[in-house]
Amino acid sequence: MSDYLDLAFNLPLTGTFTYRAPEKACTVGCRVVAPFGRRSLAGFVVGRRASLPAGLAVSAVKSATRVIDPEPLFDQRYLELARWVSRLYLCSLGEALAAMLPGGRRESDPPSLAGDEPVSAKPLTLTAEQVSAVETIRTEPQKPFYLYGITGSGKTEVFLQAAERVLSNGRGVIYLVPEIALTHQLIETVQARFGGGCAVLHSRLTPSQRLNEWRRIQRGEARLVIGARSAVFAPLPRLGLIVLDEEHEGSYKSGSTPRYHARQVAMKRCSDEKAALVMGSATPSVEAWQLMTEGRIRRLVLSSRPAGGAMPRIETVDLKPVNGTLSAQLISAIEETHREGRQTILFLNRRGFAYFFFCRSCGFSMKCSRCSVSLTYHRSRDAMICHYCGYRTRPVSVCPDCGSLDVGYTGFGTEKVEEEVRHRFPDLNVQRVDADTVRKRGALETTLSEFRSGKIDVLLGTQMVAKGLNFPGVKLVGIIHADTGLALPDFRAAERTFGLIVQVAGRAGRYSPDGRVIIQTLRPGHDAIRRAAVADIEGFYSGELEVRRQLAFPPFSRIIRLVLRGRDRSQLDAAAQDLADRIAPHLRDGAEVLGPAECPLGVISRNHRVQLLCRLVSFDTGHAVVRDTVARARLPGGVYLEIDVDPVNLL
Ligand code: ADP
Ligand code: ZN
Ligand code: ZN
Q: Average pLDDT of 430-448?
A: 75
Domain that holds residue 584: 558-645
For ligand 1, mutation pick of 117, 131, 156 (most atoms within 8 Å of CB): 156
Residues 27 and 152 placed together within one structural domain of the fold: no
Q: Is the pLDDT of residue 184 over 70?
A: yes
Is there a domain that residue 476 lies in? Answer: yes
Tell me the CATH number at 603: 3.30.70.600
Q: Is the pLDDT of residue 112 over 60?
A: no
Is there a domain that residue 64 lies in? Answer: yes
Regarding the beta carbon of 149 and ligand 1, being less than 6 Å apart is answered yes
Residue at a domain's end among 264, 279, 302: 302
Number of domains forming the structure of the chain:
4
Is there a domain that residue 295 lies in? Answer: yes
Amino acid in position 276: A
Residues 183 and 291 placed together within one structural domain of the fold: yes
Residues 64 and 173 placed together within one structural domain of the fold: no
Q: Is the pLDDT of residue 104 over 60?
A: no
Regarding the beta carbon of 129 and ligand 1, being less than 6 Å apart is answered no
Is there a domain that residue 385 lies in? Answer: no
Q: How far is the CA of 308 from the centre of ligand 1 (A)?
A: 9
- Enumerate the H helices of 229-299 as residue ranges: 262-272, 286-293
Residues 519 and 578 placed together within one structural domain of the fold: no
Tell me the pairing of strands 392-393 and 383-385.
antiparallel
Q: Average pLDDT of 54-69?
A: 88
Q: Which of 53, 101, 463 is nearest to 249 (CA)?
A: 463
Q: Which of 194, 255, 246 is nearest to 225 (CA)?
A: 194
Residues 149 and 253 placed together within one structural domain of the fold: yes
Query: Which H or E run contains 366?
Result: none
Residue at a domain's end among 302, 331, 363: 302
Structure-derived torsion over alpha carbons of residues 9, 10, 12, 15, reported in degrees to the nearest 10 = 30
Strand partners, 6: 18, 47
Kindly list the distances between the CA atom of residue 449 and the CA atoms of 258, 431, 443, 452, 457, in Å, as whole numbers in the listed order.
37, 12, 10, 5, 12
Q: Average pLDDT of 295-316?
A: 88
Q: How far is the CA of 480 from the centre of ligand 2 (A)?
A: 21
CB of 239 closer than 8 Å to CB of 175: no
Regarding the beta carbon of 307 and ligand 1, being less than 6 Å apart is answered yes
Q: How far is the CA of 597 from the centre of ligand 3 (A)?
A: 9
The reported pLDDT for the residue numbered 436 is 64
Residues 519 and 429 placed together within one structural domain of the fold: yes
Regarding the beta carbon of 183 and ligand 1, being less than 6 Å apart is answered no
Residue at a domain's end among 84, 100, 116: 100
Residues 346 and 475 placed together within one structural domain of the fold: yes
φ, ψ dihedrals at 495, nearest 5°? -60, -45
Is there a domain that residue 583 lies in? Answer: yes
φ, ψ dihedrals at 2, nearest 5°? -80, 135
Rounded CA separation 84/330 (Å): 52
Rounded CA separation 512/501 (Å): 19
Q: How far is the CA of 13 from the centre of ligand 1 (A)?
A: 48
Q: Is the pLDDT of residue 111 over 50?
A: no
Regarding the beta carbon of 211 and ligand 1, being less than 6 Å apart is answered no
Q: Average pLDDT of 63-84?
A: 94
CB of 444 closer than 8 Å to CB of 433: yes
DSSP, collapsed to helix, strand or coil, labels residue 220 as coil
pLDDT 10s digits, 126-145: 999 999 999 999 987 778 99
pLDDT 10s digits, 263-284: 999 999 999 999 999 999 999 9
Q: How far is the CA of 398 from the centre of ligand 2 (A)?
A: 8
Q: How far is the CA of 316 from the centre of ligand 2 (A)?
A: 19
The reported pLDDT for the residue numbered 596 is 95
Ligand nearest to the CA of 470: 1
Relative to the CA of 125, which ligand 1 atom is closest? 23
Residues around ligand 2, an ion, CB closer than 5 A? 359, 361-362, 364, 399, 401-402, 404
Q: Return the beta strands (E) in 523-629 as ranges.
A: 558-566, 592-604, 607-616
Q: How far is the CA of 124 from the centre of ligand 1 (A)?
A: 9
Tell me the CATH number at 488: 3.40.50.300
Tell me the pairing of strands 313-318 and 516-521.
parallel
CB of 259 closer than 8 Å to CB of 644: yes
Relative to the CA of 470, which ligand 1 atom is closest? 7
Q: Which of 592, 581, 502, 577 is nearest to 539 (CA)?
A: 502
CB-facing half-sphere around the CA of 418: CA atoms within 13 A: 15
Q: How far is the CA of 304 from the centre of ligand 1 (A)?
A: 10
Nearest Cα residue to atom 26 of ligand 1: 307
Nearest Cα residue to atom 1 of ligand 1: 152
Relative to the CA of 120, which ligand 1 atom is closest? 16
Regarding the beta carbon of 127 and ligand 1, being less than 6 Å apart is answered yes
Regarding the beta carbon of 161 and ligand 1, being less than 6 Å apart is answered no
Residues 194 and 242 placed together within one structural domain of the fold: yes
DSSP, collapsed to helix, strand or coil, labels residue 226 as strand
The reported pLDDT for the residue numbered 106 is 46
Q: How far is the CA of 415 from the centre of ligand 1 (A)?
A: 35
Relative to the CA of 149, which ligand 1 atom is closest? 3
Kindly list the distances between the CA atom of residue 214 and the CA atoms of 205, 265, 648, in Å, as whole numbers in the listed order.
12, 18, 29
Confidence at 488, pLDDT banded by 50, 70, 90: confident
- End-to-end CA separation in angstroms for the chain: 52
CB-facing half-sphere around the CA of 261: CA atoms within 13 A: 17
CB of 133 closer than 8 Å to CB of 223: no
Residues 537 and 567 placed together within one structural domain of the fold: no
Residues 240 and 322 placed together within one structural domain of the fold: no
Amino acid in position 358: F
pLDDT 10s digits, 350-384: 544 456 677 878 878 888 877 777 787 776 678 88
CB of 532 closer than 8 Å to CB of 501: yes
The reported pLDDT for the residue numbered 107 is 44
**CB-based burial label for 332 (10 Å; 0-12, 13-18, 19+):** exposed
Is there a domain that residue 47 lies in? Answer: yes
Residues 338 and 485 placed together within one structural domain of the fold: yes
Is there a domain that residue 285 lies in? Answer: yes
Strand partners, 34: 41
Nearest Cα residue to atom 2 of ligand 1: 155
- Enumerate the H helices of 273-347 as residue ranges: 286-293, 328-339
Strand partners, 644: 561
Regarding the beta carbon of 124 and ligand 1, being less than 6 Å apart is answered yes
Is there a domain that residue 110 lies in? Answer: no
Tell me the CATH number at 52: 3.40.1440.60
Q: How many C-beta atoms lie closer than 10 Å to residue 647's C-beta?
A: 23
pLDDT 10s digits, 521-572: 988 999 999 999 998 999 999 999 999 999 999 999 999 999 999 999 999 9
Ligand nearest to the CA of 406: 2
Ligand nearest to the CA of 523: 2
Regarding the beta carbon of 152 and ligand 1, being less than 6 Å apart is answered yes
Q: How far is the CA of 365 from the centre of ligand 2 (A)?
A: 8
Relative to the CA of 156, which ligand 1 atom is closest? 6
Which pTM was predicted?
0.89
Regarding the beta carbon of 151 and ligand 1, being less than 6 Å apart is answered yes
Residues 333 and 436 placed together within one structural domain of the fold: yes
Mean pLDDT of the chain: 88
Q: Is the peptide bond before 258 cis (omega within 30 degrees of 0)?
A: yes
Give the best-scoring range by mean pLDDT among 257-266, 355-364, 400-409: 257-266
